[in-house]
Amino acid sequence: MGRHGTIAGRKAAQDSKRAAVFTKYARAISVAAKAGGDPEYNVSLKHAIEKAKSINMPNDNISRAIKKGTGELAGEAYEAGSFEGYGAGGVAVIVDVLTDNKNRTTSAIKHAFDRFGGNLGVPGCVSYMFERKGVIIIEKNGGADEDALMETALEAGMEDMIAHEDSFEIQTAADALSVVSEALEQAGYKLIEADVEYVPSIETSPDEKDVNTLRRMIEFLEDNDDVQRVFTNCSANLYATEQE
């Protein structure tokens, strides 16, 4: 099952804290909109908006976030950053953030690692175990034929495709994400997710106790408004409610 888990599991995790997710996506939209407020000419903004709409974020919230990014409305200045370290069982962890107060965020991230038996490290301490790749998730129940999907994605520049329990995960080079995404959308496929992620090249398989501790740490981190995404090289599904 791997790091993504099932689509239902990820949606359930989002639904349980929808207000916090709205805040995170609004920040992502505002930051992306700094490069231009028209999603047709700003791929990062387009993907941020699509992700926000996938969790039914109101259009007024999206519009307001865009205007804050373009400067039409006053808003906080957010800075992107990342933290690296080790969680329970020696699992490598990368935390992507958008913050308006780096000292506050650093303190909060360190507290999370300490609380759940991990160690916050220095930049580069675990990122060598990951690659930056475009990742596209398509639901199997959407009627996607594996062979046809693979052919379309390969022609557009796909590097790899992995079949999960209820979804297909398509991996691309980071700079090819938009091209492959657009080709799939034009072919009629509905993309559940499309983003650049840290994909582990080396995975770790901790025991059940450490997996449960990692789940609690990730939940704790994701409850922080400054945290955008948490990536690990854990081979187990960290979005399940109990060990599968």
CATH number of 129-200: 3.30.70.980
* Helix boundaries (H) for 71-162: 102-115, 146-156
CATH number of 7-70: 1.10.10.200
Residue ranges per domain, the chain? 7-70, 79-127+202-232, 129-200
4-60 per-position pLDDT tens digit: 666 556 655 555 566 678 888 899 999 999 989 998 888 788 888 988 888 889 999
Please tell me the distance from the alpha carbon of residue 244 to that of residue 239, in angstroms, as a whole number.
Answer: 10
Task: List Cα–Cα distances, 128 to 92, 199, 202, in angstroms.
Answer: 10, 11, 9
Reduced to 3 states, what is the DSSP secondary structure of residue 76? coil
86-135 per-position pLDDT tens digit: 999 999 999 999 999 999 999 999 999 999 999 999 999 999 999 999 99
Q: How confident is the model at residue 244 (pLDDT cuts 50, 70, 90)?
A: very low
Which CATH number is 79-127+202-232's, of 3.30.70.1890, 3.30.70.980, 1.10.645.10, 1.10.10.60?
Answer: 3.30.70.980
> Are 7-70 and 79-127+202-232 the same fold in CATH?
no
